[in-house]
Amino acid sequence: MRFADQAQIHVKGGKGGDGAATFRREKFVPRGGPDGGDGGDGGSVYLETDPSLLTLLDFHYEDEFEAEDGQPGRSKKLYGKKGKDIIIKVPVGTIVKDADTGEVLADLNRPGLRLLVARGGKGGRGNVHFATPTRRAPKFAEKGYPGEERDLILELKLVADVGLVGLPNAGKSTLISRLTAAHPKIADYPFTTLAPVLGIMDLGDGRSVVIADMPGIIEDAHEGKGLGLEFLKHIERTGLLTYVIDASGFDTPPEEALEIVKKELEEYNPELVKRPSILAFNKMDVLAYDENAKERLLDIARKHGFKDEDVVFVSAVTGEGLDDLRRLIRSKVEGHVFKHYGKKPEEYELIKLPPVPFYTYEIEKIGEGEWKVTGPIIRYLMSYDLNNTASFNYVMHWLKKLRIEQELRKRGAKEGDTIWLEGKAFDLF
């Protein structure tokens, strides 16, 4: 299974539908009055945890997500149809960050979470809302509001049941390929595995566990050497650690290898070495001639705090001891909550990100006697037809409500200065 642990996406809520500026036109009903309905709200964008997903790879092919716009209002006070929401599935363990600031917005660390990331815009009000005793036939209706937009970074910290950790060339890739249906690259050189490889081991009773083969750990990995911190972070959310040690000692003596791995985990996060763990001495086929090999290896295991029942001797190549390893993994995770891949939670917990600021603006002096005002509310207001008297009055009402004139004067603007709003020039009086 190919793996990707980071992606950047752009999400946008749908625009609200415009309100309608219509009037009752019925026989025998003169001067029927306004009956324009409101526009429908735009659709929203959600992220939702899906236990069946194990990687962010799909987002490398599709990274733009925009919900449907709301439909415009209609006559007879009919509301426009709401735009359809978009629900984006992400793996459990996805951290959501603001792409501009790097701020962590949410940690989607369990199944059944639904995160609102981009609200749809509110539908515009129809002209029925603007009728007054002195203005009985308003020819104006509100435009729909824009949906929220965000650039997000998705970062995946694996939530795996079992993590295989060890030095490069300890045989972890071959081991996971024998325990599961995973197909990692396998070769005799360091860092063959450049990203975690995931596989699902069937327990035979409808349950399964996710096994992650972590890239090889080298000395000083906690300081960023080798593949370093980039992949040590994935081990943090692994329930059961399986130390895989090359029993042959061809590259590194077994005890030294175990010491290096434990030291690097402890230096990165002291809690990791306190996790439930088992020890698998691999490549036992190489030591088939050595009658005392298992006892020597058991002494090493005991010295480092492993009980005899938590140690297995395997050969990923010949298959020796693999059934023992499967049974040990099962016994260790028994009683824990198993992940039921493909099974959707019956209910979702809704989490909402804070709204993207809309009623905000910035003032910039761009020359002698010239100023520019920008912001989401300004873009919205300048989308109106200012040649229409009713629209112009509506926009002026909003500009007054936003106290833009007072803010300009505070900054030093004077009468006769030119104020630019989205390419439209106004004089300050």
Quick one: average pLDDT of 162-185? 81
Quick one: average pLDDT of 42-65? 91
pLDDT value at residue 92: 87
Closest Cα partner for 174 from 316, 282, 318, 283? 316
Query: 6-157 adopts what CATH topology?
Result: Spo0b-associated Gtp-binding Protein; Chain: A, (2.70.210)
Beta bridge partners of 418: 370, 427
For 209-226, the pLDDT digits (tens) are: 888 887 767 665 445 444
pLDDT value at residue 337: 45
CATH class of 160-333: alpha beta
pLDDT value at residue 212: 84
* CB hemisphere CA count around 175 (13 angstroms): 35
Quick one: average pLDDT of 174-201? 64
Question: Hey, where are the domains in the chain?
Answer: 6-157, 160-333, 362-427
pLDDT value at residue 201: 85
CATH class of 362-427: alpha beta
